[in-house]
Structure 1
């Protein structure tokens, strides 16, 4: 191809491997000229990728699957040769909702089943009092944030379509929406949960790793037809992203990586907030309480960069569970085919079958173990669900 690669991204820390790959010159070493384009909403990123205004995108994993299936928009098959992040989201609640949940909780406040049951009691009290339903912000209908919120609530019998309101907000707008009282809580990626806590307007209730130990979050996405025509470029970009991830995962590089990501043209927040995210050490309450987790965001370690088709299958299963599509063996195959470990392996010189991949171990706090070979059986185990219309 000729000309610079145009790559769209949203200002989130899970774009780190991509941003560092460009700004540290790893893409240049691979012979690539790259223009990173900052966007606000996932619909903008998806649409510009689909019509060719972007060659590559930092994209929500479920959007890549939905695009390939033609759900919610035009059908454009997507290939994801690199996984930009495992985990990285959190659920943040307003001080008022946090107080209400803590008043109702019975058990460990970091146990998602205990908080979900507390939420169910809060919802019931509000209904009895004639109050408006609680409003939760999430980033997109086809998003991990949507599915993670639903998975958490539904484990305690809270129906996310009947008992609360779920609304779509671009990630950078979450904090203002909480401050203005437009939402009572939100699920979003870093750094926006930490920004809300630092402003004194939110409490981080859960890291997503409390809900799912290992959950694919964002992918490096390309149109399938473009990938076929530009295989060498795809391989070079994957290698650069692998180098970016490896740089970030070295503790001695965290300060520099945080400064790169914090720049105004990148994420545009304080570097210290970004570093907290990369270190997995976050302030969770305005009073300064801290919480550490080595699983908050995995950028490169534990094989995080290699796409795992079982993760795509789980995301497809959530689409079916919540009525966004009907279960189809053909669609499941298509969904799993979006995550391309073969392209990753070819780029890094790894033999198929030798990679250190999670193999679908999600570690969900509730429900049965997920088996992509029996999606129907998995879905049948849940009481709260929706049928596609």
Structure 2
């Protein structure tokens, strides 16, 4: 008899392994009868997950860390033995802001440092003219989207808490808010950046992999207490998702994968939008300009599915940087402990192929080396921080 599980998810491309594991039958092969429950906001997923309405969840990596540390909400220790995606976000801006940044740029605007410094000049000019601050959307305070925007802005001398406004919106609402001019830009996961481009209302300024070579995006998260009581179920869940990730990354399967992901009740956009994301070949302007990278969204390749404690440390460092958490050795250890490569290795049973680069596991575009055991040293080199 199959074991029934309920898993919450948000309609995003990095839910691919989760959806394929269920709809392609990989979970059933492991004796798991999984019901996927589609939610509109991360707060909904978190709250239902925390109180046990979901056995597992498609969760923002920083949200899992914050939950385990008890910051921003109630403390619910979370662990993950499987990463659903590395990278996959983009910063999209309105045509007006794109033009303003391009006009102020001293160098190639495709360089995040050039565009960030240009943004600082745009912000200064707007202040001098007495205009309202620019408004950027992100999906949750404890999200890579928040930290992507803050990192990019800070690298150019823009204080995200003083010079602009950051507001929280569910991923599917970003596009409409940009169209209505409620936002000047946003950072969100695929496919919503591409939706804005196709509607002619935005320009993708940067992929998140241009800010950091490697950043954990979503996790297949379970409560630590649940994992202790269901070790074999968790191992089967990890195996099913690892098979799904490898299936997704096998290029001849892409058409089938896109059809699965865009079915009713799943992501519900055109298969072509998902194909662009998985292939890393995205339209970045309404005029049809294409930008291509092999690192846009890593699902199973380059050991993306194997949780890395360095990512827990980096997310915790961002929380400390922006005043969301105090600095302590205990909290750092707890953040690292969310990412459980040992569970992945035990379930999959084969040694992972570790990534060759970046050497520090993050690869910031500023060239800063991240030491997961020296958060204070990392933060001391940053000009803008709380």
Taking structure 2 as the reference length, what is the TM-score of the superposition? 0.98
1:274 matched to which residue of 2?
274
Alpha-carbon contact 2:2-2:31 (below 8 Å) kept: no
Deviations 1:129-169 (A, max 9, x none): 00000000000000000011100100111000000000000
1:216 matched to which residue of 2?
216
The 3-state SS of whatever aligns with 1:91 is: strand
Distance 2:3 2:234 in 1: 15
1:1-389 matched pairs, under 5 angstroms:
4-350=4-350, 356=354, 360-366=360-366, 368-386=368-386
Alpha-carbon contact 1:367-1:381 (below 8 Å) kept: no
The 3-state SS of whatever aligns with 1:72 is: coil
Q: RMSD in angstroms over aligned alpha carbons?
A: 1.2
Report runs of 4+ in structure 1 exceeding 3 Å deviation.
357-360
The 3-state SS of whatever aligns with 2:32 is: coil
Distance 1:69 1:97 in 2: 37
Alpha-carbon contact 1:110-1:210 (below 8 Å) kept: no
Could you tell me how far 1:3 is from its partner in structure 2? 5.1
Could you tell me how far 1:70 is from its partner in structure 2? 0.5
Alpha-carbon contact 1:140-1:168 (below 8 Å) kept: yes
Alpha-carbon contact 2:2-2:33 (below 8 Å) kept: no
Alpha-carbon contact 1:308-1:360 (below 8 Å) kept: no
Q: Unaligned regions of 5+ residues in structure 1, if any?
A: none
Deviations 1:103-123 (A, max 9, x none): 111111210000001100000
Distance 1:149 1:47 in 2: 25
Distance 1:270 1:166 in 2: 29
Give the number of aligned pairs. 384
Deviations 1:30-71 (A, max 9, x none): 110000000010011011111000000000000000000000
Distance 1:299 1:355 in 2: 14
Distance 2:292 2:100 in 1: 24
Deviations 1:160-219 (A, max 9, x none): 000000000000110011011111000000000000000000100000011001111000
Deviates more, 1:363-372 or 1:211-220: 363-372
Alpha-carbon contact 2:65-2:312 (below 8 Å) kept: yes
The 3-state SS of whatever aligns with 2:261 is: helix
The 3-state SS of whatever aligns with 2:219 is: strand
Could you tell me how far 1:355 is from its partner in structure 2? 5.3
The 3-state SS of whatever aligns with 2:373 is: helix
Distance 2:161 2:116 in 1: 15
The 3-state SS of whatever aligns with 2:374 is: helix
Distance 1:360 1:55 in 2: 33
Alpha-carbon contact 1:249-1:299 (below 8 Å) kept: yes
Distance 2:128 2:328 in 1: 40
Q: Unaligned regions of 5+ residues in structure 2, if any?
A: none
Alpha-carbon contact 2:3-2:31 (below 8 Å) kept: no
Over 3 Å counting, the alpha-carbon distance change for 1:242 and 1:2 in structure 2 is closer
